[in-house]
Amino acid sequence: MKIYLVGGTFDEKRGKASGLIAKIYWALKEQAQVADVQLYNGGHIETLRKLHDENLMEDADAIMWFANVPNEFEKYRDIKKHYPRKLLVTSKRNHDEYKFNYLVNHALGLKANLVIEFSRGEEGRFQTRLFDPLGAVWVDRTYDIQVLVEGLVERLAYLKTVKRIGTRYKEGVIAIPNESEFVSLVKQLSDRFHDLIHPAEGVTRFLGNASFRCRHGFPSFRHGDKIFVSRRNIDKRNLGLDGFVPVQKGKDGKIYYYGEYKPSVDTPIQLALYESYQNVNYMVHSHVYIEDAPFTEVAVPCGGLQEVKEIQKIFPDRTTTNVAINLIGHGSLILANSVQDIEGFLDRYISRPIPEVMNSMVMKC
């Protein structure tokens, strides 16, 4: 794994190196899974601009972007715009002035895969915590940089193996079936999720997503190649039929959507599950847990196709329907045959602990 570590202060002079960044660098160098670390520890603001804008880190597997920039300069934070396929680790100093849901919102805004929180602990020493945008903590508060870096590299190594499939726009119009009863239920559930989560202002992603396949008049839909998925980043509390996007798996194996809006990032996962479980007609995904539902073993990030196999391990019978599953470190998923079947789970939703501390077995499975 090749990592770019960018930290310290960057300004119009020579900047200033960070002793903490230097410690992280040397800890990274000791990790067997890390083949190379490129260090930029303070310097001229122009160096930071080039790293940010000119694809100088294109050979990276992961970018750790911890640059400290004075307020009079551009902050250069839009790393994912320039390096969309790279794993991104960001940082946030927090001396008890920010609540955890703010930190999660900050991570979502930067599209970070992982975040290191730095806070002042005993005798002014830096304490660190490693978490992801779903609020799962991979290294809890520690003063030991070696412990932090070992956990960081272990999680990065797993994330590097996660497979995703994008969706592509296709011209055409497919009418949305009148599933008003399902839409009404999803809106009701979204209010429940919001009460359980209390997300930061403006954050709607934590309310999850929903999908269904048509059962009326379109026999081909029964084979799971076409489904309707809620729009990406839409607030499900205000959902209508126009909030669903038609999605189809093409003969080339690629996934296409119709209309001007992209579907949820979980679309490829749910399409694969509809193909696997022919008696399932509806799915509801949330970022809360369901009481007494089984848990997956591995914490798969949003959109990771490995989630399909995790679910299939728990429900190997492909005639399965009307079940719920908790996605460890993530949320839950209901697979149902009818809207009425989903209603049976309404009273079983419970909050996920946020932050939710993961144990090492969840990371290593």
Supply the CATH number for residue 255's domain.
Answer: 3.40.225.10
Q: What is the pTM of this model?
A: 0.91
* Non-local CB neighbours of 136 within 8 Å, separated by 6+ positions: 299, 329, 330, 355, 356, 358
179 and 325: one domain? yes
Final residue belonging to a domain, choices 159, 194, 224: 159
| Percent residues over pLDDT 90 in the chain | 80
- Residue 58 lies in domain: 2-159
My answer on whether 306 and 256 are in the same domain is yes
DSSP tag of 18: -
Question: What DSSP letter does each residue of 320-348 carry, written as one string?
Answer: --SEEEEETTTEEEEEESSHHHHHTTGGG
Both 299 and 204 in one domain: the answer is: yes
Distance CA 26, CA 37 (A): 9
Mean pLDDT on 300-325 = 97
Q: What is the pLDDT of residue 361?
A: 43
Domain end, chosen from 159, 176, 208, is at 159
pLDDT of residue 233: 81
Instruction: Identify the domain boundary among 100, 132, 159.
Output: 159
Tell me the pLDDT tens digit for each residue of 261-291. 999 999 999 999 999 999 999 999 999 999 9
Q: Report the pLDDT value the prediction gives residue 96, as an integer from 0 to 100.
A: 87
CATH code for the domain in which residue 34 is found = 3.40.50.10300
How many other CB atoms are found less than 10 A from the CB of residue 340? 11
3-state SS, residue 199? coil
CB-count burial class (<10 Å; 0-12, 13-18, 19+) for 312: middle
The mean pLDDT value for 16-21 works out to 97
Is 189 found in the same domain as 153?
no
Question: Which pLDDT score, from 0 to 100, does residue 225 have?
Answer: 65
Q: What is the mean pLDDT of residues 153-180?
A: 94
- Look at residue 25 in the predicted model and tell me its pLDDT: 99
Q: What is the pLDDT of residues 225-234, one digit of tens each?
A: 689 999 988 7
At 37 the pLDDT is 98
- By C-alpha distance, which of 145, 64, 131, 138 is closest to 103? 131
The Cα–Cα gap between 122 and 142 comes to: 11
Burial (Cβ within 10 Å: 0-12, 13-18, ≥19) of residue 85: exposed
- 172 and 140, same domain (yes or no): no
Does 183 have pLDDT greater than 90? yes
User: What is residue 218's predicted lDDT score, i.e. its pLDDT?
Assistant: 46
Overall domain count for the chain: 2
> Residue 140 to residues 88, 144, 154, 181, 202: CA-CA distances in angstroms?
19, 11, 14, 43, 27
The two tokens of residue 71 are 């307020």
Q: For residue 305, give the nearest of 265, 337, 250 by alpha carbon.
A: 265
Residue 238, pLDDT score? 77
Q: Does 264 share its domain with 353?
A: yes
Q: Do 192 and 145 share a structural domain?
A: no
